[in-house]
Amino acid sequence: ERLISLNGKELSASEREKEDKRVQKQVEEIIKQQQKEKQKKEEREARGEKAKDKDDDDITILDFLRISEITSVRREMFRGHEVIAFDFEPRKGFKAKNRAEDIINKLAGTIWVDEAAQQIARLEARLTDSFKIGGGVLASIGSSTAFAFEQEKIDGQLWMPSFGEANISARVMLLAKFNRSMER
C-alpha cells in the first residue's frame, strides 16, 4: 500500500519522496525474504528433506474448485461486464490435507469470473460450520463469519483488489468472544 493523500490533500513533493522511499524499502525487504526462503527450500531439497513449509497452505483457484462442489453456473452482468457466476458449497466426503483445505471445505458462496480476463471479479463466502484451531482451545471461528472480495482491472492492464469486507465471529482461548466487521 502506498499513501497518496492525507485527509483529502495530496502529499507534498517531500512527503511523496519519503513515501516512495518507504515503499521501495518494503519491496526490497520482501524480495530479500523470498530469496532467503527459496534458498532454504533448495538446501532442504538438496539434503533430501521434505519439510512442510508455508507453501503447503497456499490455495490456488484450481485447488478451490477441486475442494468445493460447484452448482448453479450462469451468466450475469457485473459492473457492465458479462461474467460467469457460480455457487459453491463444501464437497461431501472431501478429506483435507492441510488447514487451508479444511477452511475452504467449510465455505459456501458465489464467485463471479470475468471470462475474457479469466479473473475473479467478486467472491462472496461464508462459513457453513465453525472452524477450530487447536481443537477449539486456542480459537474457534464461528459459522456466522462471512466475507466478500472484489477486484477490477486498472488502466485496462492490471487486476487489483478494489473492495474487501469481512464479518468475523470468533472465540479466543475459550474466554474472549468478539464480533468484528471490517471493510477495505
pLDDT in tens, 34-80: 888 888 888 877 877 655 544 455 667 777 778 889 888 899 998 88
Whether residue 32 has pLDDT greater than 90: no
Whole-angstrom CA distances from 68 to 61, 83, 102, 128, 182 are: 11, 20, 11, 12, 26
Residues 6+ apart with CB under 8 A from 95: none
Instruction: Please list, in sequence order, all residues whose beta carbon lies within 8 angstroms of the beta carbon of residue 28, skipping any fewer than 6 positions away.
Output: none
> What's at 50, amino acid-wise?
K
pLDDT band at residue 183 under the 50/70/90 scheme: confident
For the segment 84-109, the average pLDDT, to the nearest whole number, is: 88
Pick the range with the lowest mean pLDDT from 28-32, 46-50, 179-183. 46-50
CA 166 to chain centre: 11
* Average confidence score pLDDT of the chain: 82
